[in-house]
Amino acid sequence: MRRIVLIISVLAIGLAIGGYVFFNGERKVPVHYRTAAIERGSIISVVSATGTINPVVLVEVGTQVSGMIKSLHADFNSQVKAGETVAVIDPEPFKARREQAVSNLEVARSNVARSKADLAQRKRELDRVQSLLPQQFVSQNDVDVALTNHQSAEAQLRVAEAQVRQAGAALNVADQELKYTVIRSPIEGIVVARNVEVGQTVAASFATPNLFLIALDLTKMQVNTNVSESDIGGMAEGQDAVFTVDAYPGESFTGTIRQVRLAPINIQNVVTYNVVVGVDNKDLRLKPGMTANVSIVVAQKNQTLKVPNAALRFAPPKSERDRHEVDGQAGNVVEGHSSARSKEELRQKTVWKLMEDGSLAPVPVQIGISDGISTEMLSGALTEGEPVVVGIEQSLGEEKGGELPPGFGTKKRPRYR
């Protein structure tokens, strides 16, 4: 009996201790906030884009006639001058066509001489019958026949003269085609690409074949980049740009925006614009076709107050938001979603300041440019060095809610937002 009483007493004491811990123990771990200070410094707003390095002037050299490549006089990286021969198409078929055109012209000219002689004969016959008609040695019908023959001879002469002009035009075409068998460089530069070999047949029936690519001057290059429509508003000629290429890791090159092209590029409903960056390439280190990662400086502010972007993204716990809504301060806490907001409203943000009693206070600020890490603070009730909340350090007990008994879960783990 004494043993039963002892067991009941121990159970009662255990239940009493457990009830006290359950009802009066710590159920909720206090929230600990991470803060960062408002700083003063420089902010550089940069737009990043990817582009390709190209010569400023790149000419495609083709052919206007079809035929077999007889010889090549330029190769990759060859320096050529304007008018210099770079390739020759087999001219023999074109020489034969020219000879045929010359023969056709001679035949046409002979036809003209014959037509003139025939016209002269018809003219004499017409004059003779017209002189005999008053003496009635010939009939009126003879006169009409002679007149008709004379008119036919005149028409035949005009046809023969037209055939001469036609044969002359065909000879000019044959001369031009023979001239086009010698392909010359249109500019002075360097051969970037050669797309034909000796013995290869090129056809110019539907489109001009591309035989060579000649760059005018490789010491002046340009980077063609595609900038999204959301960033194109900050682009202007004369702005500085910095870019890197994979060929020279860790090294930056500088350039200047030379042109912002107005033609939109629409790919899968994504609109971009071509921004051309001029680059000095005197050392010829940059090669055509290299991929460039471009950073364009669109705005820069010096010695301005900076607020961390994490503070602008921070959202307080729901209980803290509810408290401020009760206090009538919710108007600055949550931004509206109306599409009719003004530009000033779009630049209004709210940051949270940690008070001495551990509570949070919303502070509305007006922001400016951003560099991705910090944002310019144009106005607001914050000073340099003042801390703002950027995140919450959450305990394991709070993460796992009711999985642990009250009073447990005191280990801290940082949580980023």
Residue 69: both structure tokens together: 């490549």
What is the identity of the amino acid at 118?
D
Q: Are the beta carbons of 88 and 130 closer than 8 angstroms?
A: no
Domain 91-180: assigned CATH number: 1.10.287.470
Backbone angles phi, psi at 131, to 5 degrees: -75, -30
Q: CA-CA distances (angstroms) from residue 385 to 12, 184, 196, 380?
A: 57, 70, 69, 14
Tokens of 245: 């290429």
Task: Quote the pLDDT of residue 45.
Answer: 86
CATH class (in words) of the domain with range 32-43+304-415: mainly beta
386, 40 Cβ separation under 8 angstroms: no
Domain ranges of the chain: 32-43+304-415, 47-56+217-300, 60-90+183-216, 91-180
Closest CA to 288 of 52, 50, 51, 49: 52
CA–chain centroid gap for 394, Å, is: 45
The pLDDT of residue 69 is 95
Least Cα distance to 70 among 98, 96, 93 occurs for 93
Instruction: Write down the pLDDT at residue 283.
Output: 92
**Closest Cα partner for 354 from 392, 396, 407?**
392
Cα 91 to Cα 198: distance, rounded to the nearest angstrom: 14
Residue among 185, 179, 227 at smallest CA distance from 50: 227
Give yes or no for a contact between 35 and 358, defined as CB atoms under 8 angstroms apart. no
Instruction: Return the number of other C-beta atoms located less than 10 Å from residue 192's C-beta.
Output: 20
What is the residue-level pLDDT of the chain in tens, covering all 417 positions?
666 766 777 677 777 776 665 555 545 556 788 888 899 999 988 899 999 999 999 999 999 999 999 999 999 999 999 999 999 999 999 999 999 999 999 999 999 999 999 999 999 999 999 999 888 888 899 989 999 999 999 999 999 999 999 999 999 999 999 999 999 999 999 999 999 999 999 988 767 788 999 999 899 999 999 999 988 988 899 999 999 999 999 999 999 999 999 999 998 999 999 999 999 999 999 999 999 999 998 888 898 999 999 989 988 877 666 666 655 554 444 444 434 344 555 578 889 888 877 788 888 999 988 888 899 988 888 888 888 889 887 654 444 444 444 444 444 444 443
Three-class secondary structure of residue 138 per DSSP: coil
Token code pair at residue 242 = 């910095």
Residue range 60-90+183-216 in CATH 3.40.190.290: no
pLDDT at 15: 73
CATH code of 47-56+217-300, in short, is 2.40.30.170
pLDDT at residue number 315: 85
Q: Which residues contact 413 (CB under 8 A, 6 or more apart)?
A: 393, 394, 395, 396, 399
Of 355, 354, 349, 364, nearest to 309 (Cα)?
A: 349
Identical fold for domains 32-43+304-415 and 60-90+183-216, yes or no, is no
66, 69, 71, 73: which is closest to 97 by C-alpha? 66
In a 3-state reduction of DSSP, which class is residue 295? Answer: strand
